[in-house]
Structures are given as C-alpha cells and as structure tokens.
Chain A
Amino acid sequence: MAATSAGGDDLLAAWTDTQIRSEAEKLGADTSPAAIRTELLKALHDQRRRIVAMDEEVMSGVLAWAGVLPGPAAAGEGLAARKERLARAIVKINTMRFAGLSHEGLKVLAILRGVPVRGDEPVPVLIEYLRASEGMLAKLGRKRRSIMGFLAEKLVGDTPRAPAADAGPAPAGSKRLKHEIEDQGLLGGIANRLRKSADGYVQEKLDEIEARIDRKLDEIDSRLSDWRDKEIANRIRIIKITLWATVVISALSLLYLYVKSHLP
C-alpha cells in the first residue's frame, strides 16, 4: 500500500492520519504523537525529498554493511521508487554499532532515523547524534537484548575467536550472534543466524552440484570428441579399402586387356 512519490499525491489525500503517520515512520520521518494532518504530510513530503536527494550507491552500501537485502524490486520501478525501497530497508536497521560504515552512510542512516543533520558533521559527531537519538526505553531494551545475546552465545558456544594477524576485514554482513540478538531480539537473532547457516549450506551444496555437472559435461564432451574421431577414422578406412579394391581390380583389368591385345 506504499504510495510512492511517483504519482501518489492523489492517493495520500484519501489516506487517514494513521496511514500517513505509518508511511512517514516507515520512511524514517520524525513525527511527534501530537502532530496534525498537515504536519504529518509535511514531514512525509520532506522525508521523501531527502530520500530522492540521497545517493543510491551510498544507500546500497549501508544495506550491504548491515547485511540486509533491500527486498524485491517492482516491475517498471523508477529511481525515486527504488530509493524509497532502499530507505524502507535502511529504516529497519536498528543497530547502534557503526564500525565500518562510511561518512556518507552515517549521514544517510542519521537522516532515515529522523536525526536532523547539516551534512558537514564529522563521523564522531554523527555517531554521537545517532546514539543520542535512541530513546531511554529503546536503550534499556537493547541492553536487555545484549545480555540475552551474550547468554545465548555462551549457551550455543558461538564465542568469537580472535582474528588472525594476517586475516583481512570480516566480510560485510557477518555478525556475532550476540549482536544479532541485540539488534533483532532473541528469536529474530537466532532465526537470522539459522537462516544464514542454511543459506551457506545450500550455497555450498549448489556449488558442489554445479561442479559435478561441469565435470560430467566435460566428460561427455571428451567422449563425444573421441567418438567423432573414431567414426571419421572408420569412414576414411572404408574409403581406403574401397579404393584399394578398385585399384587392384583396375590393375587386373588392365593386365587382362594387355594380355588379350598381345596374344597371337
């Protein structure tokens, strides 16, 4: 039911205040509970304007950093609709650990969390703003989930090992179980981890199957090549034998002709 900015103004006029508030919150607009309809519409329009002004690559980079997929693209989706889709996915990221995120990515994240930024703040200031924007209840909830994540990690035995000195940076989207539970709750974090393990397993098996199919195709190709060469060799041998027979008969015939013509 998302009314994108592409031709959705007429649709917005038919919406209730609750729907407009919900749409604005999905796009990360800062709405106060007491806001009236005009204020909600203004917040929604302003947020859409900010989203359209964002760089799509930076938005995709934020999603890649968080290890989140943006959701399926709609057919005939325009640039503005695509950016809104990315924005909705970024709004769902609620982590408070920003290590590895670029300066531009931090700005995008701050805008989509309703944090007013000018755009020229350095990284530490942006991180401070983002941390300050978290409400007390949200912070307490996150701390509670962090403790649950720590306990779950100990239970499962998924404690992180210290990375090797020559190991590169951790792959994008790889998170400790504790951090996943801290961001998405106990069940969400565990389900996410199980899903990633299952995806990894399925990917491994698909690669194995693909390698096996490739080997079989190579084997078939090599057998066909051998068969082709054998067939051609057999055909040429048949032609050779036929020619030999013809030459021998011709020679005999010539001999007969010669003897017949020279007999008295």
Chain B
Amino acid sequence: MNIEIDFFTLWRWMLALVVLIYSGIVLWQTAAGYWVWLSSGDRYTGILRRYLMVHSLRVRARAFGADIAVCLLLCVTLGLLGWLHWLGVGGQL
C-alpha cells in the first residue's frame, strides 16, 4: 500500500483546525463572560446593559455600508477561489 502524504497540505489543514478551535474557544469565553456579567441583577449593570442595547440599536449601516459591501465581495471572491482550488486539486483545471 503506497500512501502519499503531502506534508504541506497536512500542515495547512492541521494549522487551520487548531486556529479555528482556539479562536472559537476564546470567542466563546469572551462572549459568555460578557453575557454573564451583563445579565446580573445589579441596578447599575442593568442601566449599563440597557444603555449598550440603545447604542447598538443606534448604529446606522449607512456609515459602514461601503466597507461591508467590499467584505462581502471579498468573501464571494474567496469562495470562488476556493472552488477553483478544489477543481485544480481534482485535476479538472
């Protein structure tokens, strides 16, 4: 049995997996910490929570619309490149 292992590809996939898990855990921990703190029944934390919600609702997409549109286009481009990569790896390119 002759198994070909591309170490570079292996390294890329391992790195992507580790970074994904690590960033997921850190994001979850931060979000959970903020959620627990803002959910507390303390009067002043309640005022802060409502104030944060009001500020979030006041954000206008018009101010960041252009940047968000560029990010979406880049995501589409990345998806396209990924699909072409997959075609290339499959020998169809």
- A residues whose Cβ falls under 8 Å from a Cβ of B: 224-225, 228-229, 232-233, 236-237, 239-240, 243-244, 246-247, 250-251, 253-254, 257-258, 261
Contact = CB atoms under 8 A, between A and B. Distances in A.
Majority DSSP secondary structure for residues of B touching A:
helix
A240 B81 contact: no
Nearest to B75: A243
A76 to B, nearest CB: 28
| Band of interface residues on B | 20 to 34
Contacts, number: 53
Is chain A's binding surface mostly helix, strand, loop or mixed?
Answer: helix
Given A225-B58, A236-B64, A251-B81, 10 more contacts: A228-B55, A228-B59, A232-B59, A246-B74, A250-B81, A254-B85, A254-B88, A258-B93, A261-B88, A261-B93
Contact of B63 (A233, A250, A251): A233
Nearest to A251: B81
B85 A250 contact: yes
A190 to B, nearest CB: 46
Interface of B: 55, 58-59, 63-64, 67-68, 70-71, 74-75, 77-78, 81-82, 84-85, 88-89, 91, 93
Contacts of A254: 81, 84-85, 88
